[in-house]
Amino acid sequence: MIYHKKRKKFTRVFFILFIAILFIVGFKLAWHVGSSTVELVPASSARLAETYRTLPAVPNPNKTYRIVIDPGHGGKDPGATGVSGAYEKAFNLSLAGRVVDLLEEAPLFEPLLTRSDDQFVELDERAAKSNDWNADVMISIHGNTYTDPMTSGTETLYRHEDSIPLAQTLQEHLVKGIGLRDRGIKEEQLKVLSTPTMPAVLIEVGYLTNAEDERFLLSNEGQDLAAQAIVDGLKDYFAEAQELSLGHQANGESVERSPGTPQSGNQSMEKKVYFNGSAQDGKQVALTFDDGPDAIVTPKILDILKENDIKATFFILGNRAEAHPETVRRIKEEGHAIGNHSWSHPNFTELSMEEALNQVKNTQDELNDIIGYRPSLFRPPYGALDEDKEEAIQNMDLAVVNWSVDTMDWSGLPAQEIMGIIHKQLRPGGIILQHTANGKNHLANTLEALQLLIPDLKDQGYSFVTVPELLHLPESQSS
């Protein structure tokens, strides 16, 4: 009995300690959550992400500039955690709200938020909203992080060359406006910057992991100054574009596309990875087929395309072209576009520069022997390409083209699930990835899905074009 009482007393003490620990942990968690919330300034009349689909995908008739403001992270993705325990997602949303408030005061601008509260938005959705709305620019707002707490400053990231003037202008105004160290502009292969069809940048306003930066960024003064700098930068950016356009017109020169002007005619080949075309060209879609040709699936795909009078783009492997030259010739004769997909489908990130370039060159030579020209398009196997190899391949006068919709057909995914992916991911100007070889069950699912998607997309108002037509690029390299 004595032993039993001691054990009960020990159990009671243990229980009290356990409750005390829970209380302390809960208090600390609550404190951190509270500290992660900076004052939010709602954008009262800005169009929000939930309503973007109701906006017309046509050139803007109001003679205003459409600005997409993207507060980074959100919901289940808190982003960086600051010195004080503040979450980056709250800072991003607060600053974005202040930027939108200022934009709404200027008749020149029409703003759109990709999220208006603490919700999670996929990266491709953020870009898709900008494309669907025919925005003139997209700005993603972030706070930075680093392991060294002394690292400080502002930097602006871009992906494509047409975004450099925007990045430079915003960086200059931010550094002048908020006074943090100038870390310059940088090219980064970020998903959120890769697929927008307009100039797009990501602003790292300052380092939340630096105590002084964070204290300033979470203050009303700091956010007001940063918001004003971004808006002032946008005003300068569009003023410069208008002056350039007027100057060209006064001199009788052809005018390059300025922000907000639809593209027309042929574009020069840009030093970038293409993921999609422009929504401003209407509801166009490009079907692409990789890894062929073969003697089983490719002819069946060609039959379906011919029956429906549709032209597609085939990214061909050199060793398969060598084995099936008659199928390559049929692809050309029936009006489809042809691209280079390497010789034997290796992962280019695992090759030396010499090996990678030989994969491309040998395929170009083989295709030239079969169809009489060298294609202007290259798609890396697995969509994987190191930056140095990307630049080297572009210097071979090849456009690097990936995709915006991955059907995963090679995995044996049922046709209805493939259709679900297309319905979710496709936007005007989209490039759909499918295969003509290297799939399960001879890609029976691809053939079935193809017969479903053609009438389905036609009913939605899509027209089918080749990749060169979609991107306004030549089909072949100049001799």
Closest to 473 measured CA to CA, from 270, 334, 269: 269
Question: What is the DSSP code (8-state) at residue 378?
Answer: E
**What b/e sequence results for 230-242 when a residue is b if at least 16 CB atoms lie within 10 Å of its CB, and e otherwise?**
bbbbbbebbeebe
Query: Can you read off the two tokens belonging to residue 458?
Result: 């036609």
Instruction: State the CB neighbour count (10 A cutoff) for residue 162.
Output: 17
Query: Can you read off the two tokens belonging to residue 224?
Result: 């007001």
The answer to whether 336 is a known catalytic residue is no
Is 317 exposed, middle or buried (CB count within 10 Å of its CB: 0-12, 13-18, 19+)? buried
Instruction: State the CB neighbour count (10 A cutoff) for residue 425.
Output: 18
Residue 11: strand, helix, or coil = helix
Is 263 exposed, middle or buried (CB count within 10 Å of its CB: 0-12, 13-18, 19+)? middle
**Residue 370: CA atoms inside 13 Å, Cβ hemisphere, count?**
27
CA separation for the pair 208, 67 (Å, rounded): 26
The answer to whether 435 is a known catalytic residue is yes
CA separation for the pair 4, 95 (Å, rounded): 62
Catalytically annotated residue among 136, 213, 290, 409: 290
Amino acid at 269: M
- Give me the DSSP letters along 127-165: HHHHHHTT-SEEEEEEEE--SSTT---EEEEESSGGGHH
Instruction: State the CB neighbour count (10 A cutoff) for residue 146.
Output: 13
CA separation for the pair 313, 286 (Å, rounded): 7
Residues forming the active site: 290, 435
